[in-house]
Structure 1
Amino acid sequence: MAVHDDCKLKFLELKAKRTYRFIVFKIEEKQKQVVVEKLGEPTQSYEDFTASLPADECRYAVYDFDFVTEENCQKSRIFFIAWSPDTSRVRSKMIYASSKDRFKRELDGIQVELQATDPTEVGLDVIKSRAN
């Protein structure tokens, strides 16, 4: 599975310049490559992000999560989320699962990885607990 250059470019912009809050990636089966499907503006919320994940299709996503530590320090973590809902097609789940590690290696700077099959597994509470 090829990775479109745009994926790496946009990820670098998120990581270095914080141009985006999140990026949703989609595998284009016909072209056999991962492409950028949606970019989230820095002002968009976590709810906007979860709303952009399709209910019955797999996706990869990157989310830049800002939080404050117990010591009152402002921090941020870059999450990689492998979204694979139970209702998605088996073939799709297999393609996403088998391409995940290679795709993740292309995105240098991911700090936390999450595998999610339903919205509760990408709840804000889960993100907060994994961030620390």
Structure 2
Amino acid sequence: MYSTFKKKRKMPQKLQAKKNKMKANSSSGMAVHDECKLKFLDLKTKRKYRFIVFKIDEKIQQVMVEKVGGHDETYADFTASIPANECRYAVFDFDFTTDENCQKSKIYFIAWSPDTSKIRSKMLYASSKDRFKRELDGIQVELQATDPSEMSFDIIKARAL
């Protein structure tokens, strides 16, 4: 008997890599590494982390986890972990007490895009932000910062109340 199925030819590696890049960028955004979603889920449900800093790896066209902060770390530790001259995404779990003396928590998404970073990097992070945020279900407050003063502790606290 003869088979009616045609044998698939293997695509050259360079061409396959190019195709994967186009696939990741097709919705004006990067691919998101599974670790990003898993770490965020741990932060949101298990409260395992205080913050997560994400970085776009331009070589593989993917958002990756760069650093996680333990639950005992402070907001100062978080801001110190973000590079001053490079764009990043970050998620911060902020605990606070309301005027009625109730303990609450809000998850912040921070898009850090300093004025001193490269224009190409700013454009890449800006075009990928919405797609990346959709992958992280449970963000309550979004903050866009271009200067450290725009994400000061006082601003974070004011946005929580």
Aligned to 2:132: 103
Decide which of 50, 58, 75 is 2:87's aligned counterpart.
Answer: 58
Aligned-residue sequence identity (percent) comes to: 76
User: Which residue type is aligned with residue 5 of structure 1?
Assistant: D
Uncovered stretches (5+) of structure 2, i.e. residues with no partner: 1-29
TM-score (norm: length of structure 1): 0.99
Aligned to 1:71: 100
Q: Which 4+ stretches in 1 moved above 6 angstroms?
A: none
Aligned to 2:152: 123
Decide which of 70, 74, 93 is 1:41's aligned counterpart.
Answer: 70
* Residue 122 of structure 1, CA deviation: 0.7
Q: How many residues align?
A: 132
- Could you say what the CA RMSD is over the residues aligned between the two structures, in angstroms? 0.3
TM-score (norm: length of structure 2): 0.82
SS at match of 1:54: coil
2: CA distance, partners of 1:53 / 1:93: 15
* Residue 78 of structure 1, CA deviation: 0.0
Larger radius of gyration: 2
1: CA distance, partners of 2:33 / 2:132: 10
2: CA distance, partners of 1:118 / 1:44: 22
Aligned to 2:50: 21
Query: CA-to-partner distance for each residue in 1:56-114, whole Å, 9 max, x for gaps?
Result: 00000000000000000000000000000000000000000000000000000000000
